[in-house]
């Protein structure tokens, strides 16, 4: 399996507390990153630098920060192992 890491500097932030997401945390995240997508307890953000993301991880103890990873989907199409003899 091939693992591709995005070069865009995209990160996933997961909130460990009880929703809704804290407004102060959201202000800080939006001031340091670009918000791409949000769900009930997770955010997808683009960060300019890994040090900025490490700083956010230190300042926001109720959040986990991880770099986005993309995986290629394996093909399920059957393949011929050997060509038939004619």
**Residue with token string 């804290």:** 22
Peptide bond into 20 cis (omega under 30): yes
DSSP string, 52-70: HHHHHHHH-TTEEEEE-EE
Give the Cβ contact number of residue 67 at 10 Å. Answer: 13
Q: What are the structural domains, with CATH classification, of the chain?
A: 3-71 (3.30.70.80)
- Interval 9-29: pLDDT, tens: 899 999 999 989 999 999 999
Burial of 41 (0-12, 13-18, 19+ CB in 10 A): middle
The whole-angstrom separation of Cα 83 and Cα 37 is 47
Tokens of 56: 């956010």
Confidence class of residue 78 from pLDDT cuts 50, 70 and 90?
Answer: confident
């Amino acid at each position: 399996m091939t693992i591709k890491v995005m070069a865009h500097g995209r990160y996933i932030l997961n909130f460990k507390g009880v929703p809704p997401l804290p407004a102060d945390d959201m202000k800080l995240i939006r001031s340091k990153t670009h918000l791409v997508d949000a769900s009930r307890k997770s955010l997808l953000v683009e960060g300019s630098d890994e040090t900025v993301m490490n700083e956010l991880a230190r300042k926001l103890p109720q959040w986990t920060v991880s770099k986005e990873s993309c995986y290629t989907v394996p093909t399920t199409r059957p393949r011929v192992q050997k060509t038939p003899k004619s």
